[in-house]
Amino acid sequence: MPVVNVLTPRLSVLGLAITSATYLSSSYANTELELDATVIKGQQDSSLEYQAKESESSLKMPLTLRQTPQTINIITNAQIEDQQLTTVGKVLDQTPGMNRIEYGVSGACVTCSDFLVRGFKVQNYQLDGVSLSPALAGAMMEQNSAGYERVEVIKGATGLLSGAGYPNATVNLVRKRPTIDPRVSLSSSVGSWDTYRGQADVAGALNDEGSIRGRIVVNYQDNGSWLDRVKQHRTAAYGILEFDLSDSTLLDVGFSYSKIKTNNGGVHSFRKLDSKTSEKTYYSRSDNASADWAYSDIAITTYFADIKHDFNEDWQLNASLINAYLETDRIYGVLGTRKLIDGKGSLTYGRQAQTPQQIAIDLSLTGKYHAFGREHQIVVGTNALRSTSNDREYSGGSIENVSTAGWNGQIAKPDMAYTGIRNKETLRQQGFYAATRFKATDRLALILGARVSDWHKKAEVNSSLSPLNNYSRKETGVVTPYAGVVYDITENWATYASYTNIFNPQNYQTESGSYLDPEEGHTYEVGVKGSILNDQLTVNVAFFQSDLDNLAVKDGDKETPAGYSAYKAVNGTRSKGYEISLAGEILPDWHINAGYSHSITKDKDGHRIKADMTPMDQVKLFTRYRLPNQFNKLTVGMGFTWQSNTHLMSTNKLQERNGRQASYSLVSAMARYDISPNLNLSVNANNILDKKYTLNASNHTYGEPRNLTATLNWNY
């Protein structure tokens, strides 16, 4: 292609490594994707760079955020680029109300990093509105963000579309789409800890008529770590083809691939507390608990296809399919402090390999209808998901009396022989959903919906390490309702209330051997949404309460017929609080995304729980400003996050006190200078005050120390 011939000498001169760049939202770009990622439009109003106006994630209806009776926080592509948020996890770190819990090296495990919202773990992830199984959802946090136009977090229960899960939030990753005009975006970065990254994003029409369009995004990164000896290698690719099959039918097909290889590091860190005395242990941020033969390989491949057909201006049929594969292989060897007195510990080692895969489909019909002299909206649909996993098992164990003094990871690698399949697991879920938005008056809209779900999970567990027997669980005909009301106070302000519901099957057994009923979650939310400054700045104030019933807790010393611990269901777990968020443009060229959240989770007796995982209060803010007049080639930005303290939940007061993480603040900054209309240089500084903080209550897994990244961007 001609564009390749143009790029080759430029790449050679600049020394740019071709990698998966995010699409540069420069003021010099003459066209850009509208925030509604299914439609290609002309140049986007600059005020929308941090402000999204619409989302279909909550109800699969084309609604503005003000018309949606739930809190939706959106991180746009502009903010992703400004802050150099290179992974989905880093994007979620900037989302109001999200809190990360992590163990060990980031990217070394798909089950050792979680996000919590409103007191509960985020279990539901979607790709363009199609659900991922829990077995694959954990891998999404370390995915490269370059292939996504924006990341949406829908707060509250989302059982209408997703079926099973927790009553707190769903993360929807919205992919980038092709453009008609040719686009090329290249970048090369260098940063702290020998981090080198290159990116490329190429899009445009593939025929003269523009009826076939494509986009390819590729990424390559090598980096060290503030942890001694840790090295990582990351590669990613995303490609999409878009076909106008007719004036009313659009077909998308594509793929994504991501691989993370971590050496000399793993999923564990030194314990915060001595296992015998509960006294504090002291390690620096650079101390690495892993043996030098520890490694982790994680690769996820996704294929997708979407077809959209417009019957007329009012009715549209949407069909989506996702086929995803995850491959993980990791060997861990972690040194745990046992006694401070003799400075000895035990090294726990083992190997784990998992290969979950899934196929999911979603079919929906959206449209408008007229009744009682008004126009209303409706959606009906069905979706289904099937995932399987065969997890291999290897022998493991521990090496005793290893000296912790001068630990450098050098220890003989023990044998970890393959012993067979640990478990075979199959999950099936399907459901039918319907919802309508009924305009009762010019100002009042009622939203009513429901889903009927079938859920089946079967597992063959062959490991003596597993606390579960072989099991088969079914839930059929589960109804999850949805109700909302939105009242327009003025043209720009509305008040709303909603009730959402979700269920979450569980495999715990009672003393008699029967399974507990599914956890059932309910979320109540009331709030006010609106815009100020000539509709340039969006504001959302919400009060919420999320309840979880049938929570499994151990039933004393009772056992199941098979000899495992017996459980009982407890009702009344409750998280409640409020959130304030704003996004958009304060003044011309001054953009902001900010939020404050307060939440507290209590058990049925009113005692606070999850204090080790969720701060009660949290503030997140990032703002960017392009200087005026003769200084307008320079753009500057600043970020600020703060969270209140967390502490280890324990009946042992010494453990609780020594496991405390005090409140902390993080400050970041960015500056970008436009060298020419097509070339700019940006510098990002994170954790400028070099705050030392941990990401969980039990071990020494630290957040990033102060670091710098310089990025050269070229776009055409």
**CA–CA dist 587, 237 (Å, integer):** 37
Q: How many domains does the chain have?
A: 1
Give the tens place of pLDDT for each residue, 305-322.
Answer: 999 999 999 999 999 999
At 383, which CATH number? 2.40.170.20
Residue 457 has pLDDT above 70, yes or no: yes
In this structure, what token pair is assigned to residue 177? Answer: 């789409």
SS3 of 402, please?
strand
Q: Which residue has the higher pLDDT, 236 or 5?
A: 236
First to last CA, the chain: 15
| Average confidence score pLDDT of the chain | 86
* Domain residue limits at 270: 2-715
Out of 102-111, 251-260, 573-582, which region has the weakest mean confidence (pLDDT)? 102-111
| pLDDT computed for residue 45 by the predictor | 39
Q: Across 162-171, 290-299, 606-615, which has the greatest mean pLDDT?
A: 290-299
Could you report the per-residue pLDDT of 624-651, keeping only the tens digit for each?
999 999 999 999 999 999 999 887 766 6
Inter-residue contact 225 to 265 (CB < 8 Å):
yes
Residues 6 or more apart whose CB falls under 8 angstroms from that of 497 comprise: 69, 484, 485, 524, 525, 526, 527
DSSP codes of every residue in 88-127: HHHHHHTSTTEEEEE-SSTTS-SSSEEEEETTEE--EEEE
Bridge partners of 658, per DSSP, are: none
Query: pTM, whole model, 2 decimals?
Result: 0.88
The rounded distance, in Å, linking the Cα atoms of 614 and 713 is: 37
Quote the CA–CA distance of 404 and 400 in Å, as a whole number.
11
405 versus 144: the higher-pLDDT residue is 144
pLDDT at 337: 65
Q: What is the pLDDT of residue 685?
A: 97
Question: Is it the case that residue 350 has pLDDT exceeding 50?
Answer: yes
Position 12 pLDDT exceeds 50: no
| DSSP 8-state assignment for residue 293 | T
Q: Rounded distance, CA 621 to CA 537, Å? A: 14
pLDDT band at 602 (very low <50, low <70, confident <90, very high): confident
What are the CA-CA distances from residue 567 to residues 166, 472, 506, 570, 605 (Å)? 19, 17, 11, 10, 18
At residue 142, the pLDDT reads: 84
3-class state of residue 138 by DSSP? helix
